[in-house]
């Protein structure tokens, strides 16, 4: 009975059964100990081990291994390790492997290494696999591969787990030569010939496939994938290939693989479905939806992914239909749909859905509030946002989210967009901890409301408070200088971004400097910057130069800028717009040039 409870994950039932037993065998003690360990109840498992010792129960190796697996902190781990060492059984294979895994789980790799290389007199394939896996999962793939070589030199016969770990380490390092040797060379052939038939399995080939995709060798990976038909692919194989294509920016190949997976009769699971929709274009979403409908279970993660994909593709109505058809919804489902509305400009719908979420008894999360607050700031009818915003803010305060950095920053931005700067500043000054993000949000709110000099002063205060500025800080500062007419100050800030803070300017930074130069009448410098900056100027950049040229009646430069705009955007409407911009300003002295356009 106790075993049945434990196998079904009912630890409470197992414990009640154990406590009511008139007599307990060592097997009963071990069974409950394993159940506690597997369910993550480390403290209870350690108490059970102590009771076994107090009641004179023979603590066998399996029970000790279960207790080791249940350790939740390093202090517990060291204590039980010392107890095992005192008993002279720490080198037993089952305990040695459990101790290595425990130290790795507790992020104490040095103890795992010291124990393995200094304490173990003999090492089996199981213990070698444990230390190789430990190095791999803790970010030391080179050490893992070194152990792989040492294992071979020690004459220990490798199994499929050894090769899976080694191949995974190769994929992390990005050096595929070892994998190539294992797969195609004579040494690989010898190794696979020596391995038992059950070891030449799909798992080993999947690891090799992952190594190639992680190394960016999708062509070679595709060849291995095709060759695996002779061995037998499984869903993990398809997932590895689809994810590999996406990781290497080959979405069309990923979609083709997802289609082929469907045609060959493999059921898409959560991983393949989410991977398939993550970069799919709108026209491919039907494939993902068809795969979702055929899934043998209602996977909430998959439903959420498909709803998000439709919303990101701008298919709001289809996303709504999917959301309504979901068998059940969690907070992530609601947040996905609220964010989908907000991203597509349906801010009133986002706010309405937020209220519906609350009415249906789903507690809003921080993400729910952030999306809804953003919608309050963006809603077209200012009165709606001004009414809903403070109510949301009050609700946030009631749920103790008010001083979360992400939520508070969203509230600051919302009040700024609604023109309620006093409230933005009140939220900022009430924050117990301020990072660069709320500083940026408050400075941006000031700048957006025409208080550019106050925004610059605010950013200066940030530096005095020893908060390191970000690239966004400089974007706000340069734009504020541009609008305030502070030409020299703006140039100094743009230069200091890289010289003093080591930040590389983005395209948007260059665009702000072009605007700064244009407003100051430095049109030659603005045009030169567009030509020499490390980014290709787009329509927005050339339009900024065009507007500045028109404002300063620089006819020839306006014509050049207009020509570049028309080269990039072959649209009659854009041509008409340029004429409308130029004609009123330049008609008195340059009608011939306007006609040239």
Assigned domain for 150 exists:
no
The three-point CA angle 151-152-154 to 5° equals 65
Length of the chain, please? 597
Region class of 256: left (phi > 0), else alpha (psi between -120 and 50), else beta: alpha
Task: Tell me 468's DSSP state.
Answer: P
Assigned domain for 137 exists:
no
Assigned domain for 20 exists:
yes
End-of-domain residue from the set 407, 433, 459: 433
Q: Which two tokens stand for residue 493?
A: 């800030």
- Residues 350 and 372: their CA atoms lie apart, in Å, by 6
Q: Which two tokens stand for residue 351?
A: 């706010």
Residues ≥6 apart with Cβ < 8 Å to 488: none
> Model pTM?
0.58
Assigned domain for 365 exists:
yes
Count CB-CB contacts under 10 A for residue 230. Answer: 6
Do the Cβ atoms of 257 and 242 come closer than 8 Å? yes
Q: Which two tokens stand for residue 157?
A: 């016969």
Domain that holds residue 397: 329-433
* Strand, helix or coil for residue 189: helix
Backbone angles phi, psi at 443, to 5 degrees: -60, -40
The per-type count for the chain, helices as H runs and strands as E runs, is 37, 0
- Residues 425 and 463: their CA atoms lie apart, in Å, by 18
* Strand, helix or coil for residue 26: helix
* Residue among 98, 168, 105, 183 at smallest CA distance from 132: 168
* Residue among 228, 211, 237 at smallest CA distance from 145: 211
CATH of the domain at 427: 1.25.40
Domain count, the chain: 2
- Residues 570 and 551: their CA atoms lie apart, in Å, by 24
Radius of gyration from C-alpha coordinates of the chain:
32
Task: Tell me 198's DSSP state.
Answer: G
Count CB-CB contacts under 10 A for residue 330. Answer: 15
- Residues 435 and 516: their CA atoms lie apart, in Å, by 28
Work out the widest C-alpha separation in the chain, in whole angstroms. 108
pLDDT in the model for residue 194: 46
**What string of pLDDT tens digits covers the 597 residues of the chain?**
545 544 545 556 556 665 666 655 555 655 665 565 555 554 565 566 566 555 554 555 556 666 666 666 676 667 767 666 766 655 566 667 777 777 777 767 777 767 766 666 667 787 788 788 777 777 777 888 888 888 878 888 877 677 777 777 776 666 556 666 555 433 444 444 444 444 345 666 777 777 777 777 788 788 778 777 655 677 778 878 877 877 777 767 777 777 787 777 776 665 656 655 554 444 555 655 555 555 544 567 777 877 887 888 788 888 898 898 887 888 889 999 999 999 898 988 998 999 899 888 888 888 888 888 888 877 745 556 567 888 888 888 877 777 888 899 999 999 998 889 999 999 999 998 889 999 999 999 999 999 999 999 999 999 999 999 999 999 999 999 999 999 999 999 999 998 888 888 999 999 999 999 999 999 999 999 999 999 999 988 998 998 898 888 887 888 888 888 888 876 554 565 556 555 555 444 444 544 445
Residues ≥6 apart with Cβ < 8 Å to 152: 158
* Residue among 353, 358, 356, 387 at smallest CA distance from 372: 353
Q: Which two tokens stand for residue 377?
A: 């700031």
- Residues 527 and 14: their CA atoms lie apart, in Å, by 77
Residues ≥6 apart with Cβ < 8 Å to 513: 478, 490, 491, 494, 529
End-of-domain residue from the set 90, 122, 154: 122
pLDDT in the model for residue 196: 42
Asked whether the CA dihedral 431, 434, 438, 439 is positive or negative, the reply is positive
* Residue among 160, 93, 164 at smallest CA distance from 126: 93
Residues ≥6 apart with Cβ < 8 Å to 253: 218, 222, 245
Task: Give the DSSP per-residue string, 382-439.
Answer: HHHHHHHHHHHHHHHHHTT-TT-HHHHHHHHHHHHHTT-HHHHHHHHHH-SS--HHHH
pLDDT in the model for residue 522: 94
* Residue among 356, 319, 355, 321 at smallest CA distance from 337: 319
Assigned domain for 334 exists:
yes
Assigned domain for 395 exists:
yes
Region class of 107: left (phi > 0), else alpha (psi between -120 and 50), else beta: left
Helix, strand, coil percentages for the chain (3-state, nearest 5)? 75, 0, 25
160-183 as b/e: b if 16+ CB within 10 A: bbbbbbbbbbbbbbebbebbbebb
Task: Tell me 130's DSSP state.
Answer: H
pLDDT in the model for residue 285: 56
pLDDT in the model for residue 321: 86
Assigned domain for 359 exists:
yes
Assigned domain for 229 exists:
no
- Residues 36 and 25: their CA atoms lie apart, in Å, by 17
End-of-domain residue from the set 80, 102, 122: 122
Task: Tell me 265's DSSP state.
Answer: T
């Amino acid at each position: 009975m106790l075993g049945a409870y434990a196998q079904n994950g009912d630890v409470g039932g197992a414990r009640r059964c154990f406590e009511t037993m008139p007599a307990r065998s060592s097997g009963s003690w071990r069974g409950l100990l394993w159940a506690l360990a597997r369910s993550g109840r480390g403290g209870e498992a350690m108490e059970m081990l102590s009771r076994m010792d107090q009641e004179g129960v023979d603590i066998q190796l399996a029970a000790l291994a279960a207790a080791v697996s249940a350790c939740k902190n390093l202090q517990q781990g060291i204590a039980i390790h010392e107890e095992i060492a005192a008993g002279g059984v720490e080198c037993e294979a089952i305990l040695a492997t459990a101790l290595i895994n425990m130290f790795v789980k507790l992020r104490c790799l040095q103890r795992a290494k010291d124990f393995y290389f200094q304490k173990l007199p003999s090492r089996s394939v199981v213990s070698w696999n444990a230390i190789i896996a430990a190095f791999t999962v803790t970010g030391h793939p080179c050490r893992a591969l070194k152990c792989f070589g040492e294992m071979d030199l020690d004459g220990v016969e490798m199994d499929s787990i050894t090769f899976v770990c080694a191949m995974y380490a190769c994929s992390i390092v990005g050096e595929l030569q070892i994998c190539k040797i294992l797969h195609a060379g004579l040494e690989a052939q010898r190794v696979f010939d020596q391995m038992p038939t059950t070891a030449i399995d799909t798992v080993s080939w999947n690891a090799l496939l992952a190594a190639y995709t992680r190394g960016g060798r999708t062509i070679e990976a595709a060849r291995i994938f095709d060759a695996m038909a002779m061995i037998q692919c499984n869903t993990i194989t398809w997932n590895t290939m689809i994810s590999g294509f996406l990781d290497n920016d080959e979405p069309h190949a990923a979609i083709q693989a997802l289609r082929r997976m469907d045609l060959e009769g493999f059921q898409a699971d959560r991983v393949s479905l989410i991977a398939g929709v993550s970069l799919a274009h709108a026209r491919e979403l039907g494939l993902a939806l068809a795969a979702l409908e055929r899934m043998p279970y209602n996977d909430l993660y998959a439903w959420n992914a498909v709803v998000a994909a439709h919303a990101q593709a701008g298919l709001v109505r289809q996303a709504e239909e999917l959301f309504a058809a979901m068998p059940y919804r969690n907070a992530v489902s609601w947040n996905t749909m609220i964010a989908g509305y907000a991203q597509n400009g349906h801010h009133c719908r986002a706010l309405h859905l937020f209220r519906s979420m609350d009415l249906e008894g789903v507690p809003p999360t921080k993400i729910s509030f952030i999306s809804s607050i953003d919608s309050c700031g963006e809603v077209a009818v200012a009165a709606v946002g001004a009414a809903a915003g403070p109510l949301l803010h009050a609700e946030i305060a009631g749920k103790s989210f008010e001083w979360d950095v992400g939520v508070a920053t969203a509230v600051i931005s919302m009040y700024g967009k609604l023109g309620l700067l006093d409230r933005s500043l009140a939220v900022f000054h009430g924050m117990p901890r301020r990072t660069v993000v709320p500083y940026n949000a408050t400075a941006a709110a000031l700048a957006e409301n025409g208080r550019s000099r106050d925004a610059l002063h605010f950013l200066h205060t940030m530096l005095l408070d020893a908060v390191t500025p970000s690239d966004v800080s400089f974007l706000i500062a340069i734009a504020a200088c541009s609008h305030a007419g502070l030409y020299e100050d703006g140039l100094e800030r743009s230069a200091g971004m890289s010289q003093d803070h080591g930040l590389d300017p983005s395209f948007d930074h260059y665009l702000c400097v072009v605007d700064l130069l244009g407003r100051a009448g430095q049109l030659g410098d603005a045009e030169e910057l567009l030509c020499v900056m490390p980014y290709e100027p787009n329509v927005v950049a050339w339009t900024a130069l065009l507007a500045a040229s028109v404002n300063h009646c620089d006819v020839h430069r306006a014509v050049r800028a207009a020509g570049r705009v028309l080269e990039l955007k072959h649209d009659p409407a854009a041509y008409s717009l340029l004429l409308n911009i130029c004609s009123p300003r330049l008609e008195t002295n340059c009608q011939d040039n306007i006609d040239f356009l």
